[in-house]
Chains A and B, each alone.
Chain A
Amino acid sequence: MKRIWLWILPILFSACQEEVFLPLGQKDELVPTIEGIWTDNGIYNEVKISLSKDYYDSLDVEIIDNAEVVITIPGTEKVIPFRYINGTRSYRPINPLEKAVVGETYKLNVKWGENIYISEGVMLEAPTVDSVTWKFEEERLFREEGYYIKVYGKVPFKEDNNYRIRVIENDTLKNQRDDYLLFDDTFGLQFFEQGLELGYAFEENDRVRLELFRLNRDAYDYLNQLVNLLFSDGGLFSPPPQNPETNIRVVQGDSEVLGYFMVSPVLARTVVIQAKYD
């Protein structure tokens, strides 16, 4: 709701903007960023480790390729080792058939130099996606004219209802700050049964892949806070900017850590937008 200010200001005063340069501080040490994704589908499973950089640095972040990464199942001897893959610039399971199983708790272990980081997540059961439809819609408030996709499904769970839908349009992941589609059961989940409309206008013949994740609350909160931060305009109506709260803990070493670990089932559907549903 606080983002309302972003479009009220221009209405009120035609606020002026310009690009500026400000002298900014720097971290004494670059901070490692860990992004671990562990799902029931091997193509998603990877751990990315990189270092932060100076704000104005437009080069790519430095990738850490010499860490030791394993996922374990607490209470068992099970160890899933990862290795660095140059092609993806990430760590992937040595055994690509390894994947998350519903009900298991998984623990990510990363050792980089003298630093050890861990995080845990529970593999949750996936909801049901019954169908995916699309329909041409005229221009509406905040929605331009185009084809809009609706996802129909069922969520039979009373807790851990934290979801994310990722959209890949013609092989391009929609990953602008406006593109995040996160929802929980604050407003119930009836809208999922009645058809959840994705907020993107597609064109005919667009190939659209939808990926539905069911997240643990801490990973969901991380992404929510990330989106809020991306929308922070630094103005009076924005909360003070803070880094999203990571669910990764430093158990050895004194460095900070950024990023998050997500354990989730994935439901994926691909549709090609055609006029027949119009």
Chain B
Amino acid sequence: MSFFRFLLFLFVFGIVGFANAQNLGKVRGQVFDVNNSQPLIGANVYWEGNTASGVVTDLDGNFELVNPTFPAKLIISYVGYEKSIRIINAKDAEKPLRFFLKPEELSLEEIIIQERRPDEQIKNLEMGKASVPIETIKNIPALFGEVDLFRSLQLLPGVQTAGEGTTGLFVRGGSADQNLVQLDGAPVYNASHFFGIFSVFNPDALKSVDLYKGNMPSSFGGRASALIDVGLLEGNNEQIKGNGGIGSISSRLTLEGPLFGKNSTFIVSGRRTYADLFLKLSSDENLRNNKLNFHDLSGKVSFLLGDRDKISVSSYEGTDFLGLDDQFGLGWTNWVSSVNWNRVNSENSFFDLQGYHSRYSYKVEINDPDNGFEWTNRLNETGIKAIWTRVLDTKTTVNWGIHSQYYHFSPVDLSPDPGSGIQSIATNPKNGWLNNLFIGVAHEISPKLSTEAGLRWGIYNQVGKGVEYFYPNDQPERDKQIDSVAFSTLEPMEFYQGLEPRLAFRYLINEQFSIKAAYNRNFQYVQIATNSSAGLPIDRWVLADRYTQPIRSDQVSLGLFKNFDKNRWEFSVEGYYKDLRNVIDLRNGAQVLFTDQVETEILSGKGWAYGVETLLRKNTGKTTGWLAYTWSRAWRKIEGVSENQAYNPRFDRPHDVTLVLNHEFTPSWSAGLTFVYTTGQAVSFPVGSYVVDNQNVPLYSNFRNQDRFPDYHRMDASVTWRNADKGRKWRGSWNFSIYNLYGRKNPFAYEFREIYNDDFRFEPSDGEIISARPGIVMTYLFTILPSITYNFQF
């Protein structure tokens, strides 16, 4: 380039540049709705302190505004949307700006109002049902900062926990396996990660959760105590959006949006822990070589087929793995999938068809040249459910349908490694086919009195392929088998049937006050053969058979429901009595994992529970939350346990108080606080000791669980800070939470053992034993556990 041309270049582009700079004396930009990226017409745009020079956006959401002295605050406001304020520097003003306004943030209570009517608890017929909005769950201070569905449900009246840090739910005196946990209608057999520390549900992927504490509609059944009905979110049909979080132990990401146009959507959500990464940082080589992680992945696609039909397909897969030094491995996986077809036949006639499959499997590996093996097991449930609903008139709605379930519990398969001295074990499969017919009618008898009646008829067949064993006097006893019969595929083995009536009344005393009563019967054809309080991934599920009869539960309940202050406050008192038959326990020293004759290890009996649950809840305002108090008792009476006398299961905790508070200080700052107080767990402490086989052995009473852990209490707190809305698509927030704020040492376990050399940490292998005495060592898990999580959406 010659010098002349260079000057010309400078002149032309310099002039043009100058001209542009003159033009860019104005800031240009465009304003959109963050949810659908549609331009916002007529939004106000102005510099802070200079509204007079403000402009409004045009038909395409564009604006142009004269520059002030930089830096300056540019404010975008629009009716129904949150105001956006962004600091603009000279450099920012050189390019077109894009602002994404968020529809005015509905406060938590307003979201609730959208999901349920303010007077819902007064008017509806439901008792013992709790719906916790996912947004509320996300605001509850969380262990490790991991928002957890089940841990949140434990804060509701009538729901007990097995112990510190576990997610098992014990509802109104029922054990954890008496809860049906279902995801989009498909059952989840082991709903926990990390041995029960976390539940399997990623909160970002959830739309709703309903907890039925026994009084469930006739379209549901199969478990004696509770239904936890979890729904996966559907993707939006406007644009691709995402959200996620980076936490102390895991990260998660969710993407959603339209799939093929506006009539189909998708959502994919995943979560993965990185505890094993921390283990790698350990100075202890043994810990470094360990693996400990879980992940879950869920997805859902939905298709609108015209105005009347909608089909959605959802699937969830979650896996845990624990590996120790490449020599031991334990993994378990839930995989549940469902297909739902919802059809609107007419404005008063609906049809829903659902098919699902749920598989739970685990694998244990021992890599040892002498005794190595691989041990696997799988549980499968496949079902189809059809519901017809007809609105007869404004006062009467009828629904009826059929639910067919096929259970296939695979044989326990223990396969030795080549060269291993262990022999293989193969039990027989267990299969059950349960068909349920149900009908339910909701009818408004008068403006004040409404009723809902339902009937479910369960017809259960234990079917082949399988083997049935026979014992003297039909009393199963180990090594006493006298005969066995093999059954071929689908050949009937054992038959049970039972009617499950459901009845509920609501009487409206006034618009703010109602009385409700309900009766429910449920049969349960599967249960876990265990006598520990918390579930393990290798728990043995058993189907109803010749010796193990289905559990029967009957529950009556009565409740008063009162709203105050224009439905801002809800108050309820519910009393219940539940009777359980054919609940099981295990005999002393039972071995249930590898035997084909698990009936020889099982004891059977009855149980009952009763209680009063009170709940005061505030749903609106800057401060929301609830205060709950429950007085309840749970009992079991099983022949062969506790001298055949009634005893309290471990989760019997008569007094239970929970306080859940959330307060929004500003749009940027909010805080949460929870407080929990419960009576200590019912346990057995020694009443002496004795010496046998050169051991000093704790002596226990013959009566079970006559002692108590100290009372449990704990306070958690969290603070959430959301970045001020600057109109950007990316929105982030930080959550700081502390679990067990005041460091209460709540016992997880007491171990009664010898204390050597006056040091409870001293092991006999550590050196010379100078002294030994009986002692008690308490284990506690979490004291003042802070965590931090960054959440985002885009």
Binding site for B on A (CB under 8 A): 1-2, 4-5, 8-9, 11-13, 15-22, 24-27, 30-31, 33, 35, 50-58, 61, 140-141, 159, 173, 175-177, 186-197, 217, 221, 223-226, 228-230, 232-245, 256, 258-260
Contacts and interface: CB of A to CB of B under 8 A. Distances in A.
B691 interface: yes
Interface of B: 162-163, 165-166, 194-195, 197, 275, 279, 287, 290, 292, 322, 324-325, 327-328, 330, 364, 368, 370-371, 414, 420-423, 425, 479, 531-534, 536, 538, 586, 588-589, 591, 593-594, 650, 683-695, 697-702, 704-707, 745, 748-753, 755, 760-761, 764-765, 772-783
A177 B698 CA distance: 13
B422 A187 contact: yes
B616 to A, nearest CB: 31
Nearest to A150: B370
A175 B699 contact: no
Q: Which of A25, A26, A140, A190 has the most CB of B within 10 A?
A: A25
Nearest to B687: A25
Contact of A186 (B279, B531, B538, B594): B594
A17 B774 CA distance: 16
Contacts of A16: 745, 779-781, 783
A243 B642 CA distance: 11
A240 B531 contact: yes
B687 A239 contact: no
10 contacts: A13-B782, A17-B761, A24-B685, A26-B688, A27-B687, A55-B689, A141-B325, A175-B693, A175-B695, A236-B749
A4 to B, nearest CB: 7
Contacts of A11: 279, 287, 290, 292
A126 B699 CA distance: 33
Given A5-B195, A55-B698, 5 more contacts: A17-B778, A61-B691, A186-B591, A191-B371, A232-B751
A242 B197 contact: no
A244 B699 contact: no
A260 B691 CA distance: 12
A20 B114 CA distance: 52
A238 B773 CA distance: 23
Contacts of A57: 689, 774
Contact of A223 (B194, B420, B693): B693
Q: Which of B328, B684, B772, B776 has the most CB of A within 10 A?
A: B776
A176 B764 contact: yes
Contacts of B687: 24-27, 55
B760 A17 contact: yes
A18 B748 CA distance: 12
Contact of B588 (A21, A50, A225): A225
Contacts of B760: 17-19
A251 B378 CA distance: 48
Contact of B197 (A12, A61, A195): A12
Nearest to A180: B693
Contacts of A13: 165, 781-782
Contacts of A177: 695
Closest 9 CB pairs of A and B: A188-B423, A191-B421, A235-B749, A236-B534, A141-B327, A52-B690, A194-B421, A58-B773, A225-B589
A142 to B, nearest CB: 8
A159 B478 CA distance: 13
Contacts of B774: 55-58
Contact of B748 (A15, A140, A195, A223): A15
Given A18-B778, A52-B688, A259-B692, A236 B163 contact: yes
A207 B752 CA distance: 33
B327 A21 contact: no
Contact of B685 (A25, A141, A192): A25
Contacts of A2: 532, 536
Contacts of A241: 684, 686, 698, 700
B588 A20 contact: no
Contact of A190 (B422, B531, B701, B704): B422
A19 B775 contact: yes
A178 B687 CA distance: 24
Given A20-B750, A236-B534, A241-B698, A190 B421 contact: yes
Nearest to A176: B764
Contacts of A217: 479
B688 A27 contact: yes
B690 A53 contact: yes
Contact of A20 (B414, B421, B690, B776): B776
Q: Which of A16, A61, A221, A235 has the most CB of B within 10 A?
A: A235
B692 A188 contact: no
A15 B684 contact: no
Contact of B695 (A54, A193, A230): A230
B45 to A, nearest CB: 53
A227 B775 CA distance: 18
Contacts of A223: 693
B175 to A, nearest CB: 12
A183 to B, nearest CB: 11
A192 B752 CA distance: 34
A185 to B, nearest CB: 8
A50 B690 contact: yes
Given A228-B589, A236-B163, A31 B197 contact: no
A228 B347 CA distance: 63
B688 A54 contact: yes
Contact of A224 (B165, B279, B589): B589
A50 B775 contact: no
A19 B782 CA distance: 17
Contact of A31 (B371, B479, B534, B688): B688
Contacts of B689: 52-55, 57
Contacts of A235: 163, 748-749, 779
Given A55-B699, A187-B422, A193-B421, A17 B777 contact: yes
Nearest to B773: A58
A6 to B, nearest CB: 10
A13 B166 CA distance: 13
B532 A15 contact: no
A236 B695 contact: no
B322 A258 contact: no
A56 to B, nearest CB: 6
A72 B86 CA distance: 97
A16 B164 CA distance: 13
B776 A243 contact: no
A234 B693 contact: no
Contact of A55 (B370, B684, B688, B772): B688
A55 B752 contact: yes
A8 B287 CA distance: 11
Contacts of B776: 19-22
A8 B778 contact: no
A146 B752 CA distance: 31
B701 A25 contact: yes
A72 to B, nearest CB: 23
B784 to A, nearest CB: 11
A267 B479 CA distance: 26
A36 to B, nearest CB: 11
B752 A187 contact: no
Nearest to B765: A176
Q: Which of B292, B594, B779 has the most CB of A within 10 A?
A: B779
B131 to A, nearest CB: 28
A193 B195 CA distance: 37
A221 B588 CA distance: 9
A55 B779 contact: no
Given A55-B687, A55-B698, A223-B693, A244 B534 contact: no
A247 B195 CA distance: 36
A188 B426 CA distance: 12
A8 B195 contact: yes
B421 A240 contact: no
B697 A53 contact: no
A25 B322 CA distance: 40
Contact of A240 (B327, B364, B684, B751): B684
